[in-house]
Amino acid sequence: MRPSNFALYITSLLWLHLIDAKIGYFWHITDLHYDPFHNSPEFHRGCRHNRGNSEHNHRNGRHRDHTCDSSWSLIQSAAALMAERHPDTLEFVLWTGDILSSSLEHVSEEFKLEAVRNVTDILSRTFSSQFVFPALGHNDPPPSRKLVDMWMQWLPTEALQTFETGGYYTIEQSHSKLCIVVLNSVLWAGGAARNDNPHHHRARAQWEWLEKVLSKARRKKEMVYLVAHAGPGVEERHNAGSSSAAGGGELTPNANGRLLHVIRTYSDVIAGQFYGHRHADTFRLIYSDGQPVSWALLAPSVTPRGAGSISNPGLRLYKFDSNSGKVLDYTQYYLDVTNSRGELHWSIEYNLTQYYGLREVSATSLDALAERIRNYHDRGIFAKYLTALRVRHSTDVSDCDAACVYVHYCAITRADYNDFRTCVRNPASALASRAPHNSAAILLYAILILISS
């Protein structure tokens, strides 16, 4: 084949690919942490600051800080933004848990279910023509017949069966080769995953079910989205696998390791992973034999109340090839709760590929991005990452030295708890060539990270 003909042949293939691709969109919303007491005399329950300041903000009709969970007006504003901005080709919505504020821990299950129903109703009105696929977080009511009745409008019969028994299910798209697998990460977190827990059999059943679903997808040549409240890996402020981290919704060390093994085994059919829980905008990479084989994108929370660090509320709209499931891009929206325009002004924060200069969304491209983030001398890319991580709450990177940058890199690239600990335990040798004058500070930072929990 002559070069000119070969070029024409390649161009034709590219055009055929573009013609075959069907562009669709889906929203990812997570960690609403709705506080029904926000607008009542007891609304300060979901706030970290003193009641006097809360009452002052309440009287002024808005919360201009990051110490309170979501008010009903904040949830309404998020729904209004999504109704206004979503395109005609919106396919579905991923809703990854922690619907309710942690301040509701001691209220009755009936009260919690009613609060979930209120949020469900507003999402039903917002997405009257789309399906919403919910995943349970550790602040949410456990699976029950009442939840099944509430969400049966969105889930087929076969999904409702496994949801009622274990809180997990799968959705097979009839018009494409994409399978959405929604996991109940609560079964793999904290005490729920212990062998002596009465619900341990549910955790074991979810493992068996997950491997069967992934094996079936491989046989049918389908691609899979893994969706859950919490995913594998560790938050950079936590000691990986500590009791405090695992008890707060993080996966136990055994569950984390097993999930990583499953992801590596079936990486050929996993087109993407989507999680919340961290209240931050970040990503995680999974490697096999030193090569990046899978990625996970973590969406920031709707609640402005931080889970450790502070961030602004966020909503995410994905663009994807709905035939293959390949993620093409996403648009991140945010709300600056402290700006002078008030609580309801949502704006576009960035587009993923433009913001980071990515040619595509893949494990390889995100691995290259992680290497750029690790480069302490390229403060520009790390400043972008840190700004996105906090959803524009702060753009100051001066308080993050070379050791701090490296811990962020470890969190992104070391999803295994032991690997993460090793990574942050030995930053001095890894960073010596970059910042030899900071070696003592680097060692001290690593020690503090390891004993902080």
Residues in the chain: 453
Please enumerate in sequence order all residues whose Cβ is within 8 A of that of 13, keeping only pairs 6 or more positions apart, or say none: none
Q: Of 417, 97, 108, give the one whose Cα is nearest residue 284.
A: 417
- Predicted pLDDT at 395: 63
- Predicted pLDDT at 284: 98
Per-residue pLDDT of 274-329, as tens digits, reads: 999 999 999 999 999 999 999 999 999 999 876 556 789 999 999 999 989 999 99
63 close to 100: Cβ distance less than 8 angstroms: no
- Predicted pLDDT at 40: 61
User: Is residue 11 scored above 70 in pLDDT?
Assistant: no
User: Is residue 56 scored above 70 in pLDDT?
Assistant: no
- Predicted pLDDT at 346: 93
Residue 306 lies in a domain: yes
Residue 340 lies in a domain: yes
Q: Of 153, 151, 92, give the one whose Cα is nearest residue 325.
A: 92
Going by DSSP bridges, is the β-strand pair 223-227/178-182 parallel, antiparallel, or unpaired?
A: parallel
Per-residue pLDDT of 149-165, as tens digits, reads: 999 999 999 999 999 99
Burial (CB count <10 Å: 0-12, 13-18, 19+), residue 176? middle
pLDDT band at 59 (very low <50, low <70, confident <90, very high): very low
- Predicted pLDDT at 132: 97
- Predicted pLDDT at 184: 97
Residue 56 lies in a domain: yes
Residue 372 lies in a domain: no
Domain count, the chain: 1
- Predicted pLDDT at 435: 43
Helix (H, G, I), strand (E, B) or coil at 371: helix
At which residue do the structure tokens 């001398």 appear?
Answer: 377
CATH number at residue 266: 3.60.21.10
Instruction: Choose the weakest-confidence range: 15-24, 33-42, 43-52, 421-430.
Output: 43-52
Segment 355-360 shows an average pLDDT of: 97
Q: Which domain holds residue 227?
A: 20-363
Tokens representing 395?
A: 């753009």
User: Is residue 167 scored above 90 in pLDDT?
Assistant: yes
Per-residue pLDDT of 203-257, as tens digits, reads: 999 999 999 999 999 999 999 999 999 999 988 765 554 434 444 568 999 999 9
Chain mean pLDDT for the chain: 83
Q: In this predicted model, which residue has the larger pLDDT, 442 or 400? A: 400
Instruction: Choose the weakest-confidence range: 93-97, 236-240, 432-436.
Output: 432-436
pTM score, whole prediction: 0.86
Query: What is d(CA 398, CA 401) in angstroms, rounded to the nearest whole number?
Result: 7
With vertex at residue 26, the alpha carbon angle to CA 222 and CA 351, rounded to the nearest 5 degrees, is 110
Per-residue pLDDT of 267-287, as tens digits, reads: 999 999 999 999 999 999 999
- Predicted pLDDT at 381: 93
Residue 276 lies in a domain: yes
Residue 400 lies in a domain: no
pLDDT band at 427 (very low <50, low <70, confident <90, very high): low
Q: In this predicted model, which residue has the larger pLDDT, 342 or 170? A: 170
Residue 12 lies in a domain: no
User: Is residue 421 scored above 60 in pLDDT?
Assistant: yes
- Predicted pLDDT at 401: 83
Q: Of 232, 226, 228, give the one whose Cα is nearest residue 269.
A: 226
- Predicted pLDDT at 307: 59
- Predicted pLDDT at 309: 63
Tokens representing 210?
A: 């997950």
Q: What share of the chain is helix, strand, coil (3-state, %, to 5)?
A: 45, 20, 35
Per-residue pLDDT of 116-151, as tens digits, reads: 999 999 999 999 999 999 999 998 999 999 999 999
Residue 4 lies in a domain: no
